[in-house]
Amino acid sequence: MFSDPATSSCKRCSWPSCINDTPNAVASLREPDSSPFSPPLPKCLFNSTMRIPKKPVSFCLSLFSPEFSSTPPLSSWIPLRSGKRRGFRNSGASQLHASYPMDESHRTIVGDKSSNFHLAVGDGGHKPCIWSSPEGGHKIDIGKHIFCNRSLNMKSIVAVGFDMDYTLAQYKPETFESLAYEGTIKKLVHDLGYPRELLDWSFDWKYMVRGLVLDKKRGNILKMDRHKYVKVAYHGFKELSKEEKVGTYGNTLIRDSFDEPDYALIDTLFSLAEAYLFAQLVDFRDNNPGKVQEGVDYSRMYKDVRAAVDLCHRDGTLKQMVAKDPKHYINEHTSIVPMLKMLRDSGRSTFLVTNSLWDYTNIVMNFLCESRTMNGSNKCNFDWLQYFDVVITGSAKPGFFHEDNRANLFAVEPESGMLLNTDNGSPMPQVGSTSPRLSLKGQNKMCRVFQGGSVGHLHKLLSIESSSQVLYVGDHIYGDILRSKKVLGWRTMLVVPELEREVELLWELRDTRKELRLMRNQRDHIEDKIHRLKWSLKFEDVNVNEKQKLSSALDELESRRERVRLTHQLAQRECHQTFHKVWGQLMKTGYQNSRFAHQVERFACLYTSQVSNLSLYSPDKYYRPSEDFMPHEFDIIPM
């Protein structure tokens, strides 16, 4: 935003209200003045190291990027008689119980515990500083920015919805993913007949990243750019050479789509453990052919891994462990409650749509909302429901988002977990009762809890007149964002926890990025000279002496080109490995946006590192994207 020229000017170029003197120069670049005609940019901007890269930029994060390289099925239900009320209780898995007792008599107090999550999720125990507080509305750390792909005026949003797992609840990979990995290994050995030596394997939770693609048939793990060209590839844990990559994925008459059923997309954080286990099994099969059953190929091994993961879900192993000690598996975050309060105070409805069932949802949300008694001991209750208008559990996304979904919508009685039939969300008279009511009391009576149903039910419950009035926040490109955006037209925000560290590194490496561009331009310049000399030697009529001079100059240029190429490649690799030793930058593959970044750009209106970053902005903010540029514009329009 530009300040009042009468009150401020840039200390470097005397330009009124230059962005160099704003609290956040980067935010100023991305958030132009709301007037239709912003003032021209100051001269000192063009001498700054913060330059837009000389390449097409349609993905917001490119402003900072250096240029280099299942949900378990719904369980069955049985009738249950409870006094005069007839309902249903889950028979597919035992009810989960927290490690603290149930209590409804106390109030919710925001906690202040810290987090050690390597993706910088959580607020480290600091006091929440939301936009609506006296301390709010000031500089926002670059890692907590909300980036915009498509214009979104929050004034047009009447309801804000959230996923729970990996959105409101950020799991710790060093504990939760390790738990999932160990559970999957046990299922493979005890239920699917794999060798017992797998039980001695360990899990490196930092190795895999989102956006990878598993080649089930070949046992390869791929990272592609937005055009689906394979740039990084491993067979198990062995890197494929350039020739192997081209021979496998480049020499075909018909381009591969890299989609199911032959490929699997690693697009959620929960998939990282199964991807790592798949790579281990590939190496194990290659090195120990006699220990793998005959007929078990790479595709079969991946299928077995998925089956083992589903078994862990169905028997409740993972969620039972989390319920016993939520703090060990979930990051604490003190800004979630203030964020929800601010959204509701702004007049918007809030809702929760999760595939988790009610018992687990209640435990996790109690932990996130930090329910405490006055003496500080944890108590599990329903206070957190006051922050939502509607809660839908067991939603079976992404099927939930289809308008023609005919799934029944059941009301959930929070105290018992009993399910009651509804007529599209409205209570149905039960036999022996003329006016059935859920037993919620006091301040929570306005929140309605359901299981199943479809998006049509949700729209009716919230009185949504247009799909564009809904903003949905989730972590899953396909399960949360693609379907809700493409099928419904909801506005969407994707939570990418890895983004916080990535953006901070991009800012630190901005000078390196500039040097890489200069080296690339230098290579182009040398190659142009080489082509000129070769053409002269081949087609132009030159005497012997001149030809000898041209040949010497050509040799010198080719030697120089090789030195620049090696220097460039080394610098590029070092920059690449700063983000991740194996896979590099999440949002880039070489000089192109990665396939993951392409999906984010296509389907997420907004994206950010944490759901609570919404609390740092006005609930009425108008989010505007950066301008798109094509290659022909970069040398014409000054940046």
Q: How far is CA 321 from the centre of its chain?
A: 24
Structure tokens at 583: 């896979």
- Cβ proximity of 55 and 89 under 8 Å: no
List beta partners, residue 18. Answer: none
3-class secondary structure per residue, 477-530: HHHHHHHHHHHHCCEEEEECCCHHHHHHHHHHCHHHHHHHHHHHHHHHHHHHHH
Strand intervals (E) in 37-173: 77-82, 85-90, 147-148, 152-153, 159-162
Distance CA 335, CA 338 (A): 5
- Could you confirm whether 163 is annotated as catalytic? yes
Angle at CA of residue 329, ends 123 and 200, nearest 5°? 135
Catalytic residue among 103, 112, 123, 163: 163
- Cβ proximity of 285 and 218 under 8 Å: no
- Angle, nearest 10°, between helix axes 317-324 and 298-314? 50
Distance CA 483, CA 328 (A): 32
- Within 10 angstroms of residue 85's Cβ, the number of other Cβ atoms is 18
Strand intervals (E) in 263-361: 263-266, 349-353
DSSP 3-state of 257 = coil
The residue type at 53: P
Burial class (CB in 10 A: 0-12, 13-18, 19+), 593: buried
Distance CA 553, CA 565 (A): 18
Distance CA 427, CA 404 (A): 22
- Cβ proximity of 505 and 498 under 8 Å: no
Q: How far is CA 518 from CA 69, 144, 567, in A?
A: 16, 30, 12
- Angle, nearest 10°, between helix axes 272-287 and 298-314? 140
- Could you confirm whether 555 is annotated as catalytic? no
Catalytic residue among 165, 267, 359, 480: 165
Q: 135-169: string of b/e by CB count within 10 Å (b at 16+)?
A: ebeeebebbbbbbbbeebebeebbbbbbbbbbbbb
Catalytic residues: 163, 165
